Amino acid sequence: MRNSASPLGEPRGICLINLENVAFNYGGGDLLSEVSLRLAPGSFHFLTGPSGAGKSTFLKLCYGDLLATSGHVTLFDRNVRDLSRDEMALTRRRIGVVHQDCQFLDHLPLLSNVGLPLTVAGKAVQDSDIKDLLTWVGLEKLTNALPPSLSGGERQRAALARAVIMGPDVILADEPTGNLDWDMSLRLLALLVELNRMGKTILIATHDLNLIRQAKSQVATRVLRIAKRRLQLAGADL
Amino acid sequence: MIKLPAILSDHGDGVVPPSGPTAWLTTATAAAMAFLAVFALALALASGRLAERWSAALDRSATVRISAPVDQLALQTAAVLEVLSTTPGISAARALDLAEQQKLLEPWFGPDLPLADLPLPQLVEITEGSEGYDRDGLRQRLQAEAPGAVLDDHSRWREPLAAAATRLRILGYLSVFLIGATMAAMITLAARAALAANSQVIRVLRLVGAKDDYIARAFVRRFTLRAAGGACIGTVFGMAAIFVLPAQEDAGSFLTGLGFQGAGWLLPLLLPVLAALVGFLATRTASLSNLRRIT
């Protein structure tokens, strides 16, 4: 058994996502090793590191899309290995995920895509709620547009709207500004900061250091870095 | 006011993209299978009726065949009739005349056979009473009174015919079962192909918290409706084809009797229901097992 590394993030108290001495590999050598992290409610984290370092893999571990090769991943006080497939689905409703490629159903209009989490959960879809949400992300005029017709920025904002429609406790964003210009990146960051002020826990994987610096000027953040398979606190330059 | 598309708020199969032109293949295959199943069912029912008819026709009759020198034939025939008239369980017995024997042999030898010049055995037709008679006892009495008389109770013919008809009936039902199994296999393959083609859709649904049951339902409903719809079409065409078959006649009675009678016409109507059930179970099983593997 590996020696437990010191958990980053929140050292004590309630945590929503807890990784304890986690390792992961895709069949070869470990991509991540001895990774520990506690995400407390209301915290704002950035995850950075070079391409291929394992940022996306780390996020997938955080919402149960991948299972750790070793160590323990706990989501809302439940070990992911103990969760049935249905329980995992219910857990994912508490975690909003914004993917780099957004992942929409291309045959459905934006309105249906944003409302999809409510639909699959069997909850009543309130038209006004979706309209408010689309207005909040600046897409109120595109409710009937199909995802392929949206620009990169519009898709990212739509993905954020879909991620928050269930009122999740945690929002995980994987390179959310990867395809956006600076102005659009700032707009998306502003939305995420606003969500954090509403009490949501945010974890953003990005290699955009300027975005991180911009966020630090607005909200208290911790910056984590994946380097040499380990998760570390980033230096003071960030 | 913003409204979600109805397709999203009803049964959930709108989350899966339309299947395009390949969708009709499942329907067409289900139709073809149902069409064949109608015929297999008709075959099974007709075979059952045939087995019963043959058994009933031969069960209450028997024949005594008297082979004797010409000068003794009349004497032995009289003796046989006397024995038969005193045998309990036999309601009637009569010797066939030349014209009747001529008619029996006509299909093989033609109408101009000079029967009077041939040493043919005399046939005596027996009609059995409802209580039946003692076959072994009758044989012994005939042997004693008329040594050239042989009792033929038709069991030689009846049993193989009835057995053949019974086997044909079993084959008919087996065919219906195999058609159902083939339909299940076909729908399973189609469902798996659809799941594989929509792996990205499934991934998105899992990402936003959809349970396996919700995802499977989208595919199950679609394939169940296709199977049922196709089976309806195939059943209607199959029943129409059976309906226009020639009416049953004595000559070639099996082929012309291949159809449904009375309430039997209701049986094919179960095929779409069975097809829907097969479609539902096959797709649900395939979906849930595939979902466990691909997500």
pLDDT at A206 over 80: yes
Note the pLDDT tens digit of each residue in A51-100: 889 999 999 999 999 999 999 999 999 999 999 999 999 999 999 999 87
Clarify whether residues B180 and B289 are in a common domain.
Answer: yes
Clarify whether residues B187 and B50 are in a common domain.
Answer: yes
Clarify whether residues B40 and B99 are in a common domain.
Answer: no
Q: B81 near B95, Cβ under 8 Å?
A: yes
* Averaged confidence pLDDT in chain A: 88
Q: What is the count of structural domains for chain B?
A: 2
Clarify whether residues B226 and B265 are in a common domain.
Answer: yes
pLDDT at B7 over 80: no
**Within a domain: residue B243?**
yes
Contact A105 B8 (CB under 8 A): no
> In chain A, what percentage of residues exceed pLDDT 70?
93
Task: Report the 3 state secondary structure along B197-261.
Answer: HCHHHHHHHHHCCCCHHHHHHHHHHHHHHHHHHHHHHHHHHHHHHHHCCCCCCCCCHHHHCCCCC
**Within a domain: residue B4?**
no
Q: Is A145 exposed, middle or buried (0-12, 13-18, 19+ CB in 10 A)?
A: middle
**Within a domain: residue B164?**
yes
> In chain A, what percentage of residues exceed pLDDT 90?
66
pLDDT at A10 over 80: no
Clarify whether residues B253 and B275 are in a common domain.
Answer: yes
Note the pLDDT tens digit of each residue in B13-66: 678 887 766 678 889 999 999 999 999 999 888 888 877 777 776 667 788 999
Partner residues linked to A70 by β-bridges: A23
Contact B2 A105 (CB under 8 A): no
d(CA A61, CA A56): 9
| Closest Cβ–Cβ partner in B9, B212, B213 for A119 | B9
d(CA B126, CA B123): 10
**Within a domain: residue B6?**
no
Note the pLDDT tens digit of each residue in A124-146: 877 778 888 898 888 999 999 99
Check residue A82 and give its pLDDT: 94
Clarify whether residues B282 and B262 are in a common domain.
Answer: yes
Q: A201 near A42, Cβ under 8 Å?
A: yes
Q: Which of B109, B126, B147 is the last residue of a domain?
A: B147
pLDDT at B5 over 70: no
Tell whether A131 lies on the interface with B, counting CB pairs under 8 A. yes
Check residue B262 and give its pLDDT: 87
Check residue B197 and give its pLDDT: 87
**Within a domain: residue B3?**
no
Q: Where in the sequence is the domain holding B132, given as residue range(s)?
A: 68-147
Clarify whether residues B219 and B285 are in a common domain.
Answer: yes
Check residue B8 and give its pLDDT: 41
Contact B8 A108 (CB under 8 A): yes
Clarify whether residues B125 and B43 are in a common domain.
Answer: no
Q: Lowest-pLDDT range, A155-159, B165-169, B256-260?
A: B256-260
At residue B248 the predicted structure's pLDDT band, cuts being 50, 70 and 90, is: low
SS3 B4: coil
Note the pLDDT tens digit of each residue in B105-146: 877 777 777 777 777 888 998 888 878 888 889 889 988 888
Q: Tell me, rounded to whole angstroms, the distance of Cα B265 from its chain centroid.
A: 13
Quick one: average pLDDT of B64-87? 89
Minimal Cα distance from B292: which residue of A?
A85
d(CA A187, CA A157): 9
Check residue B6 and give its pLDDT: 43
The arrangement of strands across the sheet holding A201-205 comes to: A95-98, A170-174, A201-205, A44-48, A222-227, A230-233
Clarify whether residues B196 and B88 are in a common domain.
Answer: no
Q: Which of B100, B126, B147 is the last residue of a domain?
A: B147
Clarify whether residues B41 and B77 are in a common domain.
Answer: no
The residue written with tokens 């230096």 in the block is A235
Query: Cα-atom radius of gyration of chain B, to the nearest Å?
Result: 32
Note the pLDDT tens digit of each residue in B150-191: 988 877 777 787 788 888 889 989 999 999 999 889 988 888
Q: Which of A220, A189, A231 minimizes the C-alpha distance to A35?
A: A231
Check residue B11 and give its pLDDT: 55
Measured between CA atoms, how close is B3 to chain A, in angstroms? Answer: 6
**Within a domain: residue B186?**
yes
**Within a domain: residue B226?**
yes
Q: Lowest-pLDDT range, A195-199, B9-13, B153-157, B188-192?
A: B9-13
Cα separation values, A198 from A50, A123, A128, Å: 31, 22, 20
In a 13 Å sphere around the CA of A90, the CA atoms on its Cβ side amount to 7
Q: B4 near A111, Cβ under 8 Å?
A: yes
| Closest Cβ–Cβ partner in A90, A115, A162 for B4 | A115
Task: State the Cα angle at B277 between B272 and B279, rounded to 5°.
Answer: 90
Quick one: average pLDDT of A14-28? 91
Largest CA distance in chain B: 110
Q: Which of B121, B147, B173 is the last residue of a domain?
A: B147
Clarify whether residues B166 and B282 are in a common domain.
Answer: yes
**Within a domain: residue B114?**
yes
Phi–psi pair at B186, nearest 5 degrees:
-65, -45
At residue A16 the predicted structure's pLDDT band, cuts being 50, 70 and 90, is: very high
Torsion sign, CA atoms A157, A158, A161, A163: negative
Clarify whether residues B170 and B51 are in a common domain.
Answer: yes
Q: Which of A167, A160, A171, A199 minimizes the C-alpha distance to A46?
A: A171
